[in-house]
């Protein structure tokens, strides 16, 4: 399980990053936060694609998260819908 946080200055850059995340089946849980399962190959491949597309002042943080830690998450305020089924876009 991975948590991906990103900050992009321009809309087109954000859209490019979001397309990459969605390609790997990651689910958007907040405006700049995605979560999903990736194997080691997918994580490395995604990082390569991000590095090829990212702009100078943008950043992406890929955080490994164990299933046990993810199950202890707490949500405050507006409800976030977490689904167990993650879909890949090909």
Q: What pLDDT digit, counting tens, does each position of 42-57 carry? A: 999 999 999 998 888 8
* Residue keyed to tokens 């992009």: 8
65 Ramachandran zone, left/alpha/beta (phi>0; psi -120 to 50): beta
| Domain boundaries along the sequence of the chain | 2-71
Q: For residue 85, what pLDDT is reported?
A: 46
Q: What is the spatial distance between Cα 49 and Cα 51, in angstroms, rounded to a whole number? A: 5
pLDDT digits over 5-19, tens only?
Answer: 998 888 888 899 999
Tell whether domain 2-71 is in CATH 3.90.1170.50: no
CB 20 within 8 A of CB 46: yes
DSSP conformation class of 32: T
């Amino acid at each position: 399980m991975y948590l991906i946080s990103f900050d992009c200055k321009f809309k087109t850059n954000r859209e490019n990053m979001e397309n990459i995340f969605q390609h790997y089946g990651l689910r958007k849980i907040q405006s700049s936060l995605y979560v999903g399962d990736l194997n080691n190959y997918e994580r490395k491949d995604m990082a390569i694609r991000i590095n090829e597309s990212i702009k100078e002042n943008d950043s992406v943080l890929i955080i490994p998260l164990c299933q046990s830690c993810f199950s202890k998450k707490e949500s405050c305020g507006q409800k976030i819908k977490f689904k167990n089924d993650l879909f890949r876009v090909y």
